[in-house]
Amino acid sequence: MNIDSPIEDSLPTEVKSAVGSSVHLPEIDITELPSKLLPYGEGAKITYRPYTYGELLQFNQSKLSKSDQFKRVLSGINTSFPVDDLSYFDFIYIGLLRKISTFGGDKFTLTFGCSECGKSNNTYLGLTDLEFQDIEIPSLPVILDVDDNTHIEISTLTIKNYLFLLDNDLLTDKTAVYAASVTNMEFNAAKDLISSLTGDIIQDLESVDAMLYLGIKPIDCTCSSCDAKNSISIDEPGVLVSPFRGSSVATRSRIRFG
């Protein structure tokens, strides 16, 4: 899917000024990611820097849209490829690293409302408390044969395409999300093709989606007021990166790795 969205060019003015004031911060190398760097090719390099105090203040005081908040997080990540080609789940992980590295150590605070009594709770977690689902395929893209003459190539959803879905209110449209992950067709063509699929190939597509899921397992937290058990999902970027299916086996002959 080809969507033009240069991140730095689209940053609001106050974000650009904060970015410009942070040029002397240390760059921290990334060596491990949920995607195992498969989407980026051999030799890809990724670094990130902590937030400055000025960035934190602007982040918390400004009325940026969700899309612009994500772009602000991206502004502190450097890559040897276009930064908005980062996998969505890698972005979540690196965003958390940026947040933690700003204050030192490896801990962060998770605030949640109890599902039973509604009381607000704080729980303190570290990176070791988070279980990411690492990618378990040999290479990308995953190639799904639709018929004898047509196939679709599917990779991890990039943050660029995530923002496209967000800005166009398409994140709840599963067909659109699938289409945004297709790399050998334009978005509309991929969406039309996926919408027309029938039969067991639909299960194959969902199996591919499961292969590419790199999210974080929910965290079990106990309410400090009523002792109720809460299962907290924290793989939404707004939770982590802001500073403060069926069991059927796929038809394997349709799924290849390239």
Residue 100, in any domain of the structure = yes
Decide if 80 contacts 2 (C-beta within 8 A). Answer: no
Decide if 99 contacts 59 (C-beta within 8 A). Answer: no
Contacts of 35 (CB under 8 A, 6+ apart): 87, 89, 90, 135, 156, 214
Decide if 250 contacts 136 (C-beta within 8 A). Answer: no
What is the rounded CA–CA span in Å between residue 221 and residue 115?
A: 11
Domain that holds residue 52: 8-105
Say how many domains are in the chain.
2
Residue 255, in any domain of the structure = no
**H-helix or E-strand containing 79?**
strand 77-79
Domain end position, chosen among 105, 125, 159: 105
The per-residue pLDDT for range 130-145, each reduced to its tens digit, is 787 788 889 999 999 9
DSSP assignment letter at 85: G
DSSP assignment letter at 182: B
The per-residue pLDDT for range 27-86, each reduced to its tens digit, is 999 988 999 999 998 999 999 998 888 887 777 666 778 888 888 889 899 999 999 999
Cis? peptide before 26, omega within 30° of 0? no
